[in-house]
Amino acid sequence: MVQFQRCWLKNLILQSPYCRGVLPSRESSIPEFAFCLLFGHRRAGYSTTSGILGVRERTLVAVKPDGVQRRLVGQITQRFEQKGFKLVGLKMLQAPEEQLSQHYHELRRKPFYPSLLHYMTSGPIVVMVWEGYNVVRTSRIMIGDTNPVEAQAGTVRGDFSIHISRNVVHASDSVEGAQREIQLWFHRKELMDWDCCDHSSTYQI
């Protein structure tokens, strides 16, 4: 039944001239939009406050042990706040090796994997969840290239790091990856749903 509704809504949306200017061109956004019509705005990342699709996208950002040791937590956090993103989760912890091995699961066969785990468990980290329009992609741009040698000045890694093995910060590299990482590092009740008072200065209502 849901499948039929989705299909019907997709066709309806694609044929509607009204929607052509409203929806992002990405084909993958259609099910999300149809889903939000079927099951409600908040569930599908569609803000009832702003009416902008994707405004509730979330990503995981972590200040790594070198960033914490060098007292860069404030400056890194400030960049995301200044940009206009909304902080919805924050905590400091000594990362358990088991959790890190899940986090870096895809890199487990890389030669640098053992030293990466050793470094990531060498001291506390600060994990955060940021929310906002296009936050996953924008955060990756803000932190810069994995290798600080390639990272542009003005990015976190470009400004605060020299070597790939100590690149200060992590940010999820895809929407799916962000969802997985947020679930890995945060319990649901640790994430705050709150309304920013300057929302209309950040988004068109």
Angle at 150 between CA 144 and CA 156, to 5 degrees: 30
Q: How far is the CB of 139 from ligand TYD (least distance, A)?
A: 11
Binder among 165, 174, 183, 200 for ligand TYD (CB under 6 A): 165
Is 33 labelled as part of a ligand binding site? no
The answer for residues whose C-beta is within 8 angstroms of residue 169's C-beta and 6 or more apart is 61, 62, 63, 64, 67, 76, 143, 156, 157
Annotated active-site residue in 118, 170, 187, 199: 170
Active site residue 170: yes
Taking alpha carbons only, the member of 181, 173, 168, 177 closest to residue 140 is 173
Taking alpha carbons only, the member of 164, 143, 167 closest to residue 70 is 167
Q: How far is the CB of 165 from ligand TYD (least distance, A)?
A: 4
Pair of tokens at residue 117: 């785990």
Binder among 86, 138, 170, 181 for ligand TYD (CB under 6 A): 170
d(Cα 57, Cα 55) in Å, to the nearest integer? 6
Is 112 labelled as part of a ligand binding site? yes
Is 64 labelled as part of a ligand binding site? yes
Residue 112 sits in the site that holds ligand TYD (CB under 6 A): yes
Residue 38 sits in the site that holds ligand TYD (CB under 6 A): no
Cβ closer to ligand TYD: 53 or 168? 168
Which residues on neighbouring strands pair with residue 53, listed in sequence order? 46
Neighbours of 194 (CB within 10 A): 9
Q: How far is the CB of 116 from ligand TYD (least distance, A)?
A: 5
Contact residues: ligand TYD, CB under 6 A: 107, 112, 116, 146, 164-165, 167, 170, 173
Residues annotated as part of the active site? 170
